[in-house]
Amino acid sequence: MAASRTESIALPPQLNSESIGTLHQSLVETLRSKTKITLDASAVERLTTPYVQLLLGCLQRPGSATQILNASSLMRAAWAEFGLTHTHPLE
């Protein structure tokens, strides 16, 4: 059995419409390769609804081993506002 790879992706400070396309493409390619993804959310200063949807899609994908790590205080607050802290806790 082959060892699984992990790819770490640092989320940009501004998670908005200007940065979503680039991250989306990177996530799609990584998910296709069945690589475990860790998303470093330590620099997040702004989080928009489309980004929440993108991140949830990754977390909920069948067979996905995606994790969001080192969430900034803003990311944690936004996650709580969306009611996601109990269903998708941040690490």
Q: What is the pLDDT of residue 55?
A: 92
Over range 60-83, report the average pLDDT.
91
Q: Which two tokens stand for residue 22?
A: 């680039």
Q: Which residue has the higher pLDDT, 65 or 48?
A: 48
Residue entry with tokens 């989080």: 47
The rounded distance, in Å, linking the Cα atoms of 24 and 21 is 5
Name which of 31, 33, 30 is nearest 60 in CA terms: 31
For 71-85, the three-class secondary structure string (H helix, E strand, C coil) is CCHHHHHHHHHCCCC
Domains and CATH numbers, the chain: 6-81 (3.30.750)
Task: Report pLDDT for 72.
Answer: 97
- Model confidence pLDDT, tens digit, residues 5-52: 888 999 999 988 888 888 888 888 888 877 788 999 999 999 999 999
What is the rounded CA–CA span in Å between residue 74 and residue 51? 14
